[in-house]
Amino acid sequence: MPTSVKTYSSKPDSIWDALKKLWAFKSLIWVFAKRDLQVKYAQTVFGFGWSIAKPLIGLGIYVFFFGLVLNWNSNDIPYPIYVLTGLIGWNLFSYTVTSGISSVQESSDLIRKIYFPKSILPLSKTLVGVIEGLISFLLLVPLFVYYSISFSWHILLLPIVLFYTTLCGLFLVFVISSLAIKKRDLLQVVPFFLNMAIWLTPVFFSASIFPVKYQFLMTYNPIANMVELWRWIFFENIAFQSVWGINFVLMLFFALSSFYFFTWQEQKFSDY
């Protein structure tokens, strides 16, 4: 009776084979995400309440300094809502990047003991960010009620915007994680650049504050597009920009390419 034979090779998988392996181990994404959530909120008084408290604290700071003190323009959207709709997307992106790039180093002992696609690690961090983002999303409901604003039908496209946000984060995570195995200085530099990048992303300000000749930085910046897409799904008066669709396709290509680069490098992870 014929038996199936499985052959192992040191030759890197094709991107299709890598995706099939990832799908076969997909249940591990939730296992690792659940573990991270339990560890993150273990022995805390508020537990998951911190998922609401942290964006609420950030919202209060931005509203006070930039909304009340500086009176920055928010494109005819109540400033607290303008900031929060930007913060939800930005926080998910920044959490995906900062936690994802260190996920391989954090699980180095596990990598040496058992086999699984290493892309599971940053993907599980992304799932944690999505869960926390959806929890903080609840803050918008009382704000919309207070300002008597209705949600746009665009909200139905929330899964697509979530997907685009995670693509932006995972593109950086796969590239930086692959390089940081040898160049760990990157793990120290990336958080600094993220703290600076928020000033080039319209999270708590409108792109109109930039001189006209520099507004292209907002138009073609995929991260700025991501933040504006979060606002677009909530409001009817924001027009969809064709460049958003172009950047979505480009980011999908870059994310898949960086995923392939990551899987090509992952066989070396256990050596460091």
- Would the pLDDT of 166 be above 90? yes
Q: What is the pLDDT of residue 1?
A: 47
pTM: 0.88
Residue type, 265: Q
- Looking at residue 252, what is its pLDDT? 95
Q: Cα separation of 171 and 262, whole Å? A: 10
pLDDT of residue 15: 82
Other Cβ atoms less than 10 A from the Cβ of 187: the count is 15
Q: How far is CA 12 from the centre of its chain?
A: 27
Return mean pLDDT, the chain.
Answer: 85
pLDDT value for 127: 94
Each residue of 25-49: b (16+ CB within 10 Å) or e? eeebbeebbeebbeeeeeeeeeeee
Token couple for 179: 């390089």
The answer to whether 86 touches 231, Cβ cutoff 8 Å, is yes
- Give yes or no for a contact between 50 and 41, defined as CB atoms under 8 angstroms apart: yes
Say if residue 112's pLDDT is above 90: no
pLDDT for res 8: 47
What pLDDT digit, counting tens, does each position of 23-68 carry? 999 999 999 999 888 887 776 666 667 777 788 888 888 888 888 8
Q: What is the pLDDT of residues 227-243, one digit of tens each?
A: 999 999 999 888 899 99
**272 has a pLDDT exceeding 60:** no
Q: Determine the straight-line distance between the first and last CA of the chain, rounded to whole angstroms.
A: 43
Domain spans in the chain, listed from the N-terminal domain onward: 16-271
107 and 181 in contact (C-beta within 8 Å)?
no
DSSP per-residue string spanning 125-184: HHHHHHHHHHHHGGGHHHHHHHTT-PPPGGGGGHHHHHHHHHHHHHHHHHHHHHHHTT-T
Q: Residue 239 has what pLDDT?
A: 87
**Of 54, 57, 58, which is closest to residue 46 (Cα–Cα)?**
54
- Both tokens of 24, joined, read 């076969």
CA-to-CA dists, residue 114 to 110, 118, 260, 263, 270, angstroms: 6, 11, 21, 16, 10
As a whole number of angstroms, the distance between CA 116 and CA 180 comes to 20
